Amino acid sequence: MSVAAGSLVIFAASQVGTPGPANLALMAAGARYGLVPVLPFVAGVALGKQLIIWPVGFGLMSYAVRYPWLFEALKWASVLYILWLAWRIVNLRLSEREGPASVPGFSAGLPVHPLNPKAWAMVTAAFTGFVTPDTPALTATALIAVIFLGLQVLLHPFWALAGARIARQVAGRQGERVLMWGLAAATVASVFYAVFAGGR
């Protein structure tokens, strides 16, 4: 019984660190409000993946075989959420700062991964590709949870920081709309890739 931890770290880093709905939402939030104000949102996004990892580790995916219609409905509900998120990104304006109350907080970050098909795909792949069948569920789930959380704590803030740095260059200029449309288009592309190509 074992978990291929080294290979899993490489896989998880490639997934956590690359563009996807969550990272692009972090980048858009950082561009809109700056890094420090969105740190609670970053924390919520990071911890939100735990809401996928633990149920999957203890057998949630077995229900996909018994109730495929339910998971199909959840998948398309997630797609609609990401499309709504992309629309919000398109309509953000970096040069029109709002008060602190408008900054997305911890609770706003929690559902980002549970409603993100790419997150479901990468977590499922972690269990099916790097865990031997005889590994105890608690051992495998705890290790996968720690690896993903550690990488998210390291990598998610960089997306928010990148957004903040880019915003300084384009806020109030023509490039602002190009940036927001680009982030929105990348968000939509990443979620449809996750849905139709398995997020691998």
Q: pLDDT tens digits, residue range 125-178?
A: 888 888 887 888 899 899 999 999 999 999 999 999 988 887 777 766 777 777
Cα-based distances in Å from 66 to 60, 62, 86, 170: 11, 7, 32, 50
Distance (Å, whole) CA 119 – CA 45:
11
Look at residue 42 and give its three-state secondary structure: helix
Contact between 92 and 29 (Cβ < 8 Å): no
Q: How is residue 152 written in tokens?
A: 């998210």
What band does 198 get if pLDDT is binned at 50, 70 and 90? very low
Question: Which comes out higher in pLDDT, residue 143 or 64?
Answer: 143
For the cut 60, the answer to whether the pLDDT of residue 199 exceeds it is no
Distance (Å, whole) CA 21 – CA 187:
5
* Domain spans of the chain, in order of start: 5-197
Mean pLDDT of the chain: 79
For the cut 50, the answer to whether the pLDDT of residue 88 exceeds it is yes
Lowest mean pLDDT, pick from 32-46, 86-100, 112-126, 173-187: 86-100
pLDDT of 12-57, one tens digit each?
Answer: 888 888 777 788 889 888 888 889 999 999 999 999 999 999 998 8
